[in-house]
Amino acid sequence: MLTLGQPLLGKNILSLRIGGPIGIATEALINPNNLKIEGWYATDSKKAASILLSQDIRDILPQGFVVDDHEALTHPDELIRLKETIGHQFSLIGKPVYTTGKKRLGKVNDYAFEKNAFFVQKLYVSQSILKSFNGGTLTIDRTQIVEITHQRITVKEATVNETVPMPATA
């Protein structure tokens, strides 16, 4: 099941053990190499910077993220395996999207990810005001992505397969 990423920002992190919130998710921690959401940056109840790892999330509800207890929040210095990903400070939101032909499509304004595997599956790209009158928001599947850099996302050119109409026979 796909879940939108933007509405989750600012949501509570809910502990099953204490039955209430233990923190707030502030931004997704996304690996730019494979578009996997490794976790979410968070502030805990003591206003300390933490990371909620995706593997510690039991469920995602409209109220927020459900975890076992406060131990699910980890200080970034303790995450040696994710040190490189944290160092990238990569964010999908606001990233410009171009085609392989260097045509600008717009900027990423949201994304959808699989709730179980935490891989980004779709990018939602908002176009300029003039272009949005014609088409609105573009949806780009992860299979269309060619390259991701800190400056831009490059996707395949859109192609239309036209079929030749066959004459009707009597």
pLDDT 10s digits, 11-58? 999 999 998 999 999 999 999 999 999 999 999 877 788 999 999 999
pLDDT at 88 > cutoff 80: yes
- Residues above pLDDT 90, as percent of the chain: 72
Tokens of 99: 């085609």
Spatial separation of the C-alpha atoms in residues 37 and 65, rounded to whole Å: 14
Spatial separation of the C-alpha atoms in residues 83 and 95, rounded to whole Å: 22
Burial of 142: CB neighbours in 10 Å, binned 0-12, 13-18, 19+: middle
pLDDT at 10: 92
Residue ranges and CATH numbers for the domains of the chain are: 2-88 (2.30.30.240), 96-155 (2.30.30.240)
Tens digit of pLDDT for each residue in 143-152?
Answer: 999 999 989 9
Any idea what DSSP says for residue 63?
A: T
Report yes or no: 57 and 67 within 8 Å, Cβ to Cβ: yes
pLDDT at 168: 66
Report yes or no: 37 and 30 within 8 Å, Cβ to Cβ: yes
Average pLDDT over residues 149-157: 91
User: Which residues lie across from 36 on neighbouring strands?
Assistant: 31, 119
Which of 119, 156, 125 lies closest to 33, judged by CA? Answer: 119
